[in-house]
Structure 1
Amino acid sequence: MNRYGESSISAALGHDAGRASESPAREAYANGAEGPGLDLIKRIPVSVQVVLGSATMTVAELMQLGRGSIVTLDRGVGEPVEILVNGRVVARGEVVVIEEENSRLGVSLTEIVGTPSAAASRTK
C-alpha cells in the first residue's frame, strides 16, 4: 500500500492486469467521466502563447529600434497564428476581435495539431 491508500498506480486508476476487458475507470473516462486524480491534473498551470510571427535581425538593427519602429514579421495578414502550450505548437487559428471598445483580441482555433507519434499510429 502506498501513501495514497492504494497498492499501486494501476489500482488507483482501476486497472486489473488479469482482466482482458476495459476497466471501469477507463470506460468512465472514455464516456466523459472524470477520475479522482483528473481534478488535480486540471489545476496544473500551463503557459499559453499565440505567435503572430517572427523576425530575424542583426544586433545593430535591434539597437536602432525605438518608439514607432516597425518590425516586419514573417507572416502576412490572414495567415494562421500558432498557439503554443508550454512551448509546443498545439493548434493554429485566426486572430479575432473580442471587444472592440476595449481593443481586446482573441484567437479562433482552426486546426488542432496532433503529436507526430499519434499521427504515425493512425497510419499503421
Structure 2
Amino acid sequence: MATLDVIDVDLAVGLGHTHMPVHQLLRMGRGAVIALNTDADDNLTLFANGMPVADVQVVLQGDMIAIEIQHVHGRAQKQAALQNG
C-alpha cells in the first residue's frame, strides 16, 4: 500500500458542452457567458486522468464549492469509454 501514496491523479469535472463556430468564440471578450447543455440540478461527470469515473453534483460548503459523488461508474462503463475513446 505504501506505493499508492505517490500516485498522482488528475481530477476534472465536466460541466457540460456546447457547439459554436470558432469565429464566435474568438469574438468573445472578458466576462462573456457561454450557455452549456446542462441544467443546474443535473449530475455532472467526474473524470480521473481523462476517464469518466463517477456522476457528481455540485454542492456549496460555506464559501467553498465542492462535489458530492452520486454514482461510481462500474468497470464495464470504464472499458466502454476506453474503446469508444
TM-score range, shorter chain: 0.7 to 0.9
TM-score of the superposed pair, with normalisation by structure 2 = 0.82
Answering whether residue 47 of structure 2 is matched by residue 87 of structure 1, we say no
Residue among 61, 68, 84 paired with 1:108: 68
Cross-structure match for 1:33: none
Q: Any stretches of 5+ residues in structure 2 without a counterpart?
A: 79-85
Whole-Å Cα distance in 1 between the matches of residues 77 and 67 of structure 2?
26
Whole-Å Cα distance in 2 between the matches of residues 44 and 61 of structure 1?
40
Task: String of CA shifts for 1:7-54, please: whole Å, max 9, x gaps.
Answer: xxxxxxxxxxxxxxxxxxxxxxxxxxxxxxx21023211101111111
Identity %: 24
Bigger strand share: 2
Cross-structure match for 1:58: 21
Residue among 30, 33, 45 paired with 1:67: 30
Cross-structure match for 1:28: none
Answering whether residue 52 of structure 2 is matched by residue 97 of structure 1, we say no
RMSD (Å) for aligned C-alpha atoms: 1.9
TM-score of the superposed pair, with normalisation by structure 1 = 0.58
Report deviation, 1:117: 7.3
Cross-structure match for 2:41: 78
Name the larger-Rg structure: 1
The structure 1 segments of at least 4 consecutive aligned residues displaced by more than 4 Å after TM superposition are none
Tell me: CA distance 1:117–1:49, structure 2 relative to 1, closer, same or farther (3 Å).
closer
> Higher relative contact order at CA 8 Å, sep ≥6: structure 1 or structure 2?
2
